[in-house]
Amino acid sequence: MSPLSSEPVVAAEPPALSGAGLCLAYDKTTVVHGASLTLVRGQVTALIGPNGSGKSTLLRSLARLHRPTSGAVSLPGAEDALTLRPKDFARRVTLLSQSRPTPDGVTVRDIVGYGRHPYRGRYRHGDADGPRAVAHAMEVTGVSEMADRGVDELSGGELQRVWLATCLAQDTAVLLLDEPTTYLDLRYQVEILDLMRDLADDHGVAVGVVLHDLNQAAAVADQVVLLRKGVVQASGTAAQVMRPDLLSETYGLRIEVSLDPVTGLVRTEPVGRHTARHARPHASGHEARVDIPA
């Protein structure tokens, strides 16, 4: 496969959720043009690209929150996922979106319990596995100690972890995350990325995540999808997609790419006007410079 291919990576495992030829619009303005994306169980797929490139809109369409003007969203056994009953879909796919209301007078445990709504009948009955799922979700996201606190008392980072726990309590095979590290300090950013890998590696969850940090995407993702102006520019491994020429063109500034000598991971470095001031000098005393391949 060419690194510039806009076709989704062909996965050995059957797709857990896929979108084919998706065109997405706001009013009459198309913002995503013919995008195709496949999420596979046991893999993390990261969507990257500049602001306004259509990453979040594409993710929302996979969650049935943005109906495509053309194209299809499909799940195993449901060629058209848009026809599934809401509860049936919610038992298979969950989304952690960027914007969520913060209700007053509700505890952390209550919020996490909202994730069990697809499994409950009337009057919140019929979910025998609910308490275990809620307790486990709070434990793995580190919010158990604040279970009885009101969510209106929490910091932005604490609240982000609570909402992630709510998604985990929903216990689906597909987890969609829209910028989940926003508002988190460095420790919890790393823990959320580790949790995504644990869910994929240990529980076979198909994870689709929008990330702005290119190095985080390279570290956590099996597949990277690069968008620009609503068009998939490339999809593949981080090494295939994160090329200096392609990233520089997409983001509109010079981006250097290297391999970390310790981890072997792709590392990116945007080059601003003042970056050279901090460059490590060569033995000759001249500043180090790495040119982008043509």
Q: Are residues 75 and 181 in the same domain?
A: yes
Q: Are residues 194 and 221 in the same domain?
A: yes
Polymer length of the chain = 294
- Residue 282 inside a domain? The answer is no
Question: Digits of tens for pLDDT over the chain (294 positions)?
Answer: 333 334 444 445 678 999 999 999 999 899 999 999 999 999 999 999 999 999 999 999 999 999 999 999 999 887 778 888 999 999 999 999 887 777 788 999 999 999 999 998 765 567 888 999 999 999 988 899 999 999 989 988 888 889 999 999 999 999 999 999 887 889 889 988 998 999 999 989 999 999 999 999 999 999 999 999 999 999 999 999 999 999 999 999 999 999 999 989 999 999 988 776 655 554 444 333 444 444
**Residue 33: which CATH number?**
3.40.50.300
Range of the domain at 179: 1-92+172-246
Q: Are residues 85 and 132 in the same domain?
A: no
Closest by alpha carbon to 17, among 38, 35, 42?
38
Question: Is the separation of the CB atoms in 108 and 162 below 8 Å?
Answer: yes
Q: Are residues 85 and 207 in the same domain?
A: yes
Last residue of a domain, one of 153, 170, 187: 170
Residue 293 pLDDT: 42
Residue 219 pLDDT: 95
Ramachandran category for residue 210: left, alpha or beta (phi over 0 → left; psi -120 to 50 → alpha): beta
Output the pTM of the full model: 0.85
Side-chain-side CA neighbours of 286 within 13 Å: the count stands at: 4
Q: Are residues 83 and 8 in the same domain?
A: yes
